[in-house]
Amino acid sequence: MSDNLNDITPGAEEHLSKEDKIKAIKRSVKKSANDWDGERSAMFSDKVHKVMDNRLPWDDDSIELLDDMPEDAVPSEEIYAGIGLGDFNEIIPDADIPLFDAEGRPVNGGDQAEEPVYPSHEAIHEEPVYPSHEAIHEEPVYPSHEAIHEEPVYPSHEAIHEEPVYPSHEAIHEETPALAALRQQGERQAEPDYDYGYSGYDDDKSYERPQRSHEWDAPQEEPYRHSAPAKTQLTKKKKKRKKTTGEKIRDLFPRKGDSLLECIRKIIFLISIIAIVVCGYLVADYYIDLWHSKNVTKDIMDIYGMYPDKHDDDTTEDATQKYYELLDGARKLLDVNGDVIGVISIPGTPINNPVMKAEDNFKYLDMKINGDESRAGELFMDYRNKFDHVIDHRLAEPNSGNLVIYGHNMGDLTMFGSLQHYKTEENYYQEHPLIYLNSNYESYVYKIFAFFILDSDDKGPNGYDCWNKLDFDSEEDFYKFVNEAKRRTFRLNSVDVKYGDPLLTLSTCNDTLGDRGRFIVMARKVRDGEDAMEGTQDSYANPNVKWPDFYYQIRTNEKYDADAEFVPYGPEKTEE
């Protein structure tokens, strides 16, 4: 015969009498109590529900005999309401044999020798026997799945992440003080007390299992229990401490523990930073120096410009017998620096500077008129030149036949930086053909007739060191000099040059030939009564420019044609 009440099938109706069925129910209850002694009361509650859910149609008539069962022989509905034992009394209200004693334990009210009718163990776990997951949660005994997760029950998302706690498996099943108190309270009650304690969820407690108050309900693993979702434990990131400025700077340098590649990277980075700082300093210092130099020159020339130039038109007087008087503007400049020899300007260009003359050609390469050190330096005349050297208002010696003035080729076009435009701009010569040069005593005007590039290191037969030719021994020597300049000029013009014309040569650096390149502008003095602009407005490009030998070494595809047509300067215009 079966071991469980739930296995009573419709076929058993033919073989069992009503009294036998009642006895079978009582024996089943008694045996269930004996077999499950020590287990949790949840199993017993589930058993009752299985009887209720799976009772057969004829059960309603057969168990009416249980209605006569005494009230004190069955568990109290008030106590058992949480687990559905009150419903059990509805199944067997007419039983004339009590199922439970005064202590709430099942009683043996029948023949124990007779084998009770129990359903098979497999039948207990069959689908029709075992209620579905949804059915369990639909019962009024158990809270629904939605009720568990309602806002009053479920902690907020923020609370879960603030204090993540993972309850251990042992903590879930161990008897807490609250569970022990409930169990002791049940033991003190006169009638059986089933307490489905459900603590729900909160921020500080883990999920608590249902409580039973009787010591004979030993704990066992429930066949089904809706588990509370585990709280997600998130490790709160520790806020990284900000490094101080000193620590950040220290990390830029190689430190102990750094790998070889890391050390190399830091060293390269530091070198780069140093290079950037140094280059930035040099560039800034360069332009600041130019700005300072420009301001010094402007201040000096503003003082000089306050006094008008004096032009002497007397051409009959012998230069050695002429009376020379110091110009007012020159007197002001000499008060600043006694090395001032005059002032030079080219109208319409940045050139408007004082001209210095010292004991050598190096002093004013990097020094201003006021003594300040500067990359721009000052314009200065070759120390070998003689230019209006006056003693007691008389010219002490004749002027040099070729005055040479040097100056830097500055990037901001100060000093002689703007002279490069004579080569690069086609109309620049026609717009600026005149040079005004004042000594401390007289004012002079020169008209440009040639401009070209030389090699300062060329000492060969084709070399042309015009800065070293300050005077001329003869007419032939003079024309040889000026005709060489005409062969080299970038533009030809109609300016005539005659023996005895004082010459002026401006020399500055040029990078066409590297550091050895020099850009030369050559002019002759405007004669008395001559139109200063005559011959300067019909210039044209020289088709056969004579470059230094070094240039042809670089440009092997170019060559100077010595046999090309050439009209030289001279008393007679003969073809050389």
pLDDT of residue 185: 74
SS3 of residue 34 by DSSP: helix
510 CB contacts (<8 Å, ≥6 apart)? 409, 420, 453, 517, 518, 519
Calculate mean pLDDT across residues 202-219. Answer: 49
* N residues, the chain: 576
Q: The tokens of 42 are what?
A: 């949840």
Token pair 């008395």: residue: 528
Tens digit of each residue's pLDDT (9 = 90 or more) over 42-89: 665 666 566 556 554 445 544 554 455 554 444 444 444 444 444 444
Q: How far apart are CA 521 and CA 437, in angstroms?
A: 14
Would you say the C-alpha torsion 193, 179, 166, 152 has a positive or negative sign?
positive
* CA pair distance 37, 57, nearest whole angstrom: 31
Q: What residues have CB less than 8 Å from 205, skipping those under 6 apart?
A: 199
Burial of residue 436, with CB atoms counted within 10 A of its CB: 0-12 exposed, 13-18 middle, 19 or more buried: middle
**The three-state (H, E, C) secondary structure of 162-205, written as one string:** HCCCCCCHHHHHCCCHHHHHHHHHHHHCCCCCEECCCCCCCCCC
The residue among 416, 341, 354 whose CA lies nearest residue 386 is 341
3-state secondary structure of 353: strand
| Cβ 386 vs Cβ 399: under 8 Å | yes
What pLDDT score does 75 carry? Answer: 47
* All structural domains of the chain: 1-237 (no CATH), 326-554 (2.40.260.10)
Cα 452 to Cα 422: distance, rounded to the nearest angstrom: 9
Mean pLDDT of 146-166: 64
- Other CB atoms within 10 Å distance of the CB of residue 573: 9
Q: What is the mean pLDDT of residues 454-465?
A: 89
Calculate mean pLDDT across residues 260-278: 92
Q: Examine the pLDDT at 482 and tell me if it is beyond 70.
A: yes
Can you tell me whether residue 518 is helix, strand or coil? strand
Higher per-residue pLDDT: 87 or 181: 181
Contact 474, 388 (CB under 8 A): no
Cβ count within 10 A of residue 489: 25
161: confidence class by pLDDT, cuts 50, 70, 90: low
Reported as type and span, the H/E element at residue 533 is: none
pLDDT tens digits for 416-442? 999 999 999 999 999 999 999 999 999
Count Cβ atoms below 10 Å from residue 158 Cβ, excluding itself. Answer: 7
3-state secondary structure of 520: strand
The angle at the Cα of 78, spanning 72 to 81, to the nearest 5 degrees, equals 115
Give the residue from 504, 481, 495 showing the smallest Cα distance to 535. Answer: 495
- Residue whose C-alpha is closest to residue 224's, from 132, 302, 104, 89: 132
Element (H, E) at 235: none
Angle between helix 260-305 and helix 328-336 axes, rounded to 10 deg: 140
Whether the predicted pLDDT of 167 surpasses 90: no
Question: Between residues 365 and 117, which one has the greater pLDDT?
Answer: 365
CB 196 within 8 A of CB 226: no
Residue 102's identity, in one-letter code, is A
Query: What pLDDT, on a 0 to 100 scale, did the predictor assign at position 382?
Result: 98
